[in-house]
Structure 1
Amino acid sequence: MGKDMVSLTIEGEVRQYPAGTSFLAISQEYQEKYPDDIVLVVYNNRLRELNKTAQRDGTLSFVTTADKTGKKTYRRSVTLLMQKAVYNLWGSEHISVRVLYSIGQGYYCELREKADGQERVIAVDEERAIALKKEMYRLVTEDIEIEKRSMNTDDAIALFHDLGMEDKEKLFKYRRSSRVNIYVLDHYKDYFYGFMVPSTGYLRYYDIVTYEDGFVLLFPNENTREVAEFAPSGKLFHTLKASREWGRMLEIGTIGALNDAIAEGRMQEIILTQEALFEERIGHLADTIVKSGGKKFIMIAGPSSSGKTTFSHRLSIQLAAKGLKPHPFPLDDYYANRDQCPRDENGELDLECLEALDVELFNHDMNELLAGKRVNLPVFNFKTGKREYKDRYMQLGKEDVLVIEGIHGLNDRLSCSLPVESKFKIYISALTQLNIDEHNCLPTTDGRMIRRIVRDARTRGTSAKETIAMWDSVRRGEERYIFPFQEGADVMFNSALIYELAVLKMYAEPLLFAIDKDCPEYLEAKRLLKFLDYFLPMPSDGISQNSIIREFIGGSCFNV
């Protein structure tokens, strides 16, 4: 072939295209084969936007809105669309929008008005919500290009200063790269953490629902052509809101503000303040349990890497300080013997499902304890895959309580025969208080995955590649067995520390750099490395031995 043609292997077939053909043009040829919209491509193992072009031979595959990366791209692009609509409607009144946190299948946002150097929240009523939705729809029907521009970092800092986007101005002050990509939608400019769709015509599925003082920008979930229903999560929302207040108290609401504090040498004071807040909350929780009276089973559940083990130890110490006799107790000891464990659709052992536990035996033993009887509790041997009895006898006196930790702790089917008044249920998760900037909220799941990469490499010899490979399966288990029960908890507890990603960065980066470019996990590793690049590193020297972060980086005073 002439030098002006490129050979692309697509779906196992070699195709010839003129050099410089856009990935958009190629994707349009293949779109009818896919039930979901193609929004990106993987070209020679690198993610590429559709407005980029094929300049040399290679392999090409398509990323749709059904894929994890495609879903994030779609949400990011709809967020830009919403910002542009807010600017068109109310920009002249000095009203802007803040994207604060992820709730269900949407982002909670607030309108803010700046006046006299102060910012106040503008309540969003139904009229404003309808106007915003209409303006977004108008922009979608016009199918306006979303243009990417590369800028010198100093020029970007000046641009965001002029636009009043102070968080972004702070963020880029610490950027090592000399250039930065920004996106332009009909003269409206912003920066986003990740790729975009080529034009607004792709963004047909969204909704705006008023909630609290702001609104929720809703997206599709499994069905990519239908907006997910909004299921309000009151406890989650108020836990996130309280966390934001702590961040405001410490004057650290964004990564840029955290970097400022690290650069100015203020971190020891912030660590001590945050740990004091943490201890105060655990103490208050212990007080609530004692005052509620008659609680014998403290059930703790939460998603992977929430710090459940450290939390259960610290809560036990506070309960002991208030006169109770707590006994930390892992639900894992009630695993069914491996030969009786259910298998998933791939024939693998399904250790996440409730049926992997011997629910009948658990209820029998707990009821015997409740009746004041002496019970020999099992210990699960993970090497043999069998339950064993090692004379671990227990009898509950008046002050004794079991602090039970495990993923099914909040599911009433686990403890179906135990009286409701004997249980106190706690949902724990690492819900980060930090945002990247005004319009990019920091994904909570990324923080937990980085925690797990660091911990599993240290305690289990698991590589970052292996942890990333299994993460989707872990997340599916959480969606099925943990998140549906979170609102049923008596208390929701946030275990995220405002400074932790700056500490985890030093441990996680070498592990992520070890992933080879040819591995399927490389793209995710690269994304996490880019994410960690926003943070200045911070040494762990001043962090106490009982801190929840020690469960992941090591040096804990607890057996974790």
Structure 2
Amino acid sequence: MGEEQIVVKIGEKEKTYPAGVSFLSIAQEYQDQYEDDIVLALYNNRLRELKKTVKKDGELSFLTTSDKTGKRAYRRSVTLLMQKAVYNLWGREHIGVYVRYAIGQGYYCELMKDGESCKITETMIGALKKEMYRLVMADLPIEKYSMNTDEAVALFHELGMKDKEKLFRYRRSSRVNIYELDHYKDYFYGFMVPSTGYLRYYDVTAYQDGFVLLFPGKEAKKVSEFVPSDKLFFTLKRSRDWGKLQQIDTIGALNDAIAAGKTQEMILTQEALFEERIGALAEMIVKEEGKKFIMIAGPSSSGKTTFSHRLSIQLAAKGLKPHPFPLDDYYVDRDKCPRDENGELDFECLESLDVELFNHDMNELLAGKAVNLPIFNFKTGKREYKDKIMQLGKDDVLVIEGIHGLNDKLSYSLPVESKFKIYISALTQLNIDEHNYLPTTDGRMIRRIVRDARTRGTSAKETIAMWDSVRRGEEKNIFPFQEGADVMFNSALIYELAVLKIYAEPLLFAIDKDCPEYLEAKRLLKFLDYFLPMSPDGIGQNSIIREFIGGSCFNV
């Protein structure tokens, strides 16, 4: 009896293979047709690691290191490579590595011993690079196997990975996938490449007390240059330090607090801290006399609108007369709006705003003159004037919110001393565990999925479909200017993903399996599965999370 055959459709062509053939062997056959390394397979719209075998007929495509999902798998695998190198070098001294947060195109990591950070030297960096290179050249297999969740909890306890031990106590799934590289075992949130030989593009550089593990950015075979972001780093560090102080710095610790019935205490403490920080910011603005334009910018779903209202209230409480003011009113008429490379109207480029008119009006206000400010009519796509008269007295300030607020090309003619620039973003202070940081972009996307479904009738499928475009706009128009801000403000609440889970899950489950957005929805659902749900009862009407889930006292 002959060997069983299966039919695999790749592109427009069908090929016959013996049943049980690996995706890896098929990928090797097609690699020369791809510029970048194939790292994952998509079979019948299900993501598969290359070591998996093909057992039935189906449709196959490949993901490379230039694809978003492939890029994540590559970064995950390099992180495991780095962990193994650290273990080989200093494991006997009981020194472990923690992945803290993303900085640019890299992860900031720290070496830890007995709960204390170990200062890393250039000699240690050299040794780490050398050991990572040795492991890559050895082309060691990255193996995956499944174990019972209780066994995994016991394994992590034995390995001293307390964060993972805590995380998996709340795991609904009965089994866990564990990865192993040359006897070093760990759990990762997502798939891996087949072996270390794939991991040729990375770098390690010392930064602050730790180091940054650098990856390729837009070019899959070129490691991005490290550009220090000190303000972002210290904002992230302050948030993490506060989380540690509250003993809630990982998802497992948050779940412990929810399970122990501490939700109201958590909400009240977080809101008190939030108000204290906004109050301190308002105090800073008042002390710096002559600030007339409070410029607020940040990426999508950072809570800019609620923040500008709450900052205005604090400024008013300190004797100023704030006027919230959206930059959107300076949009050019739709027929004059530039178009992007796809021929779509580009509302996110600076040229979509009437920069000259904005500068003219702001200078007139600065001179004490009365100005009739425009109002943009989004229904007609035209600018209108409806006697919105503004005149700045001694205590008046404009609280200007918009994506180009930090770009000096927007306010080029305004005196530097008249501007106070604030960068706001939702920079979560939680990590998944020791080695899996929680991407802030995932938190913002979940915020946006929930808000857009509620306020715009936009499905989760539509929000996910446009997210890459949103991100490209942020990388071009917002992130390059963040370090130029006078202050960076973190709008993330420590408990928010446990609350958003209740709203987001039904929206994500509504995405059909045959949709291109299904893979991303499935990834987000797996991510939300780590959290225990938390009721929004007890969250105040002025909370930033109300901008997304509803019930805000502000017009958001």
Among 366, 375, 394, the alignment partner of 2:390 is 394
Which residue pairs with 2:329 in the alignment? 333
Q: Mind listing any 5+ residue stretches in structure 1 that lack a counterpart? A: none
What is the DSSP-based 3-state SS (H/G/I as helix, E as strand, rest coil) of the residue aligned with 1:479? helix
Aligned pair 1:271/2:267, yes or no? Answer: yes
Deviation at 1:51, TM superposition (A): 0.2
Deviation at 1:519, TM superposition (A): 0.5
Deviation at 1:12, TM superposition (A): 1.5
Measured in 2, the distance between the counterparts of 1:539 and 1:47 equals 33
**Superimposed CA distance per residue, residues 251-285 of structure 1 (whole angstroms, 9 cap, x where no aligned partner):** 10000000000000011111111110110000000
Deviation at 1:442, TM superposition (A): 0.2
Give the 5 Å matches for 1:496-535: 496-535=492-531
**Superimposed CA distance per residue, residues 456-493 of structure 1 (whole angstroms, 9 cap, x where no aligned partner):** 00000000000000000000000000000000000000
Which residue pairs with 1:312 in the alignment? 308
**Superimposed CA distance per residue, residues 6-55 of structure 1 (whole angstroms, 9 cap, x where no aligned partner):** 11111211111111110000001111111110000100000000000111
Give percent identity, aligned residues only: 80
What is the DSSP-based 3-state SS (H/G/I as helix, E as strand, rest coil) of the residue aligned with 1:66? coil
User: 2:3–2:18: 8 Å Cα contact kept in structure 1?
Assistant: no
Q: Mind listing any 5+ residue stretches in structure 2 that lack a counterpart? A: none
Measured in 1, the distance between the counterparts of 2:121 and 2:11 equals 49
Measured in 1, the distance between the counterparts of 2:362 and 2:415 equals 11
Measured in 2, the distance between the counterparts of 1:373 and 1:112 equals 59
Give the 5 Å matches for 1:55-454: 55-114=55-114, 119-454=115-450
Measured in 2, the distance between the counterparts of 1:390 and 1:14 equals 64
Deviation at 1:194, TM superposition (A): 0.3
Aligned pair 1:556/2:555, yes or no? Answer: no
What is the DSSP-based 3-state SS (H/G/I as helix, E as strand, rest coil) of the residue aligned with 1:402? strand
Measured in 2, the distance between the counterparts of 1:498 and 1:297 equals 30
Measured in 1, the distance between the counterparts of 2:491 and 2:290 equals 26
What is the DSSP-based 3-state SS (H/G/I as helix, E as strand, rest coil) of the residue aligned with 1:511? helix
Measured in 2, the distance between the counterparts of 1:271 and 1:473 equals 33
Are the structure 2 counterparts of residues 371 and 15 from structure 1 closer, same or farther at C-alpha, using a change threshold of 3 Å? Answer: same
**Superimposed CA distance per residue, residues 39-95 of structure 1 (whole angstroms, 9 cap, x where no aligned partner):** 001000000000001111111000000001011100000000000000001000000
Q: Partner letter of residue 331 of structure 2? A: Y
Deviation at 1:342, TM superposition (A): 0.2
Among 447, 452, 455, the alignment partner of 2:451 is 455
What is the DSSP-based 3-state SS (H/G/I as helix, E as strand, rest coil) of the residue aligned with 1:161? helix
Deviation at 1:407, TM superposition (A): 0.2
Q: Partner letter of residue 49 of structure 1? A: E
Considering only aligned residues, what root-mean-square deviation do their CA atoms show, in Å? Answer: 0.8
User: 2:167–2:251: 8 Å Cα contact kept in structure 1?
Assistant: yes
User: 2:38–2:65: 8 Å Cα contact kept in structure 1?
Assistant: yes
Q: Partner letter of residue 421 of structure 2? A: K
Measured in 1, the distance between the counterparts of 2:134 and 2:164 equals 28
**Superimposed CA distance per residue, residues 219-242 of structure 1 (whole angstroms, 9 cap, x where no aligned partner):** 111111111100000000000000
What is the DSSP-based 3-state SS (H/G/I as helix, E as strand, rest coil) of the residue aligned with 1:41? strand
Deviation at 1:3, TM superposition (A): 7.2
Measured in 1, the distance between the counterparts of 2:219 and 2:403 equals 27
Which residue pairs with 2:34 in the alignment? 34
Q: Partner letter of residue 306 of structure 1? A: S
Measured in 1, the distance between the counterparts of 2:6 and 2:360 equals 68
Measured in 2, the distance between the counterparts of 1:35 and 1:3 equals 34
Measured in 1, the distance between the counterparts of 2:172 and 2:60 equals 31
Deviation at 1:545, TM superposition (A): 0.5
**Superimposed CA distance per residue, residues 347-375 of structure 1 (whole angstroms, 9 cap, x where no aligned partner):** 10000100000111111111111111111
Measured in 2, the distance between the counterparts of 1:144 and 1:3 equals 31
Measured in 2, the distance between the counterparts of 1:149 and 1:390 equals 67
**Superimposed CA distance per residue, residues 102-124 of structure 1 (whole angstroms, 9 cap, x where no aligned partner):** 0001000000012xxxx111100
Aligned pair 1:487/2:476, yes or no? Answer: no
Measured in 1, the distance between the counterparts of 2:243 and 2:95 equals 23
Runs of 4+ in 1 over 2 A off after TM superposition: none
Deviation at 1:2, TM superposition (A): 6.9
Measured in 1, the distance between the counterparts of 2:272 and 2:522 equals 35
Deviation at 1:4, TM superposition (A): 1.1
Measured in 2, the distance between the counterparts of 1:322 and 1:542 equals 28
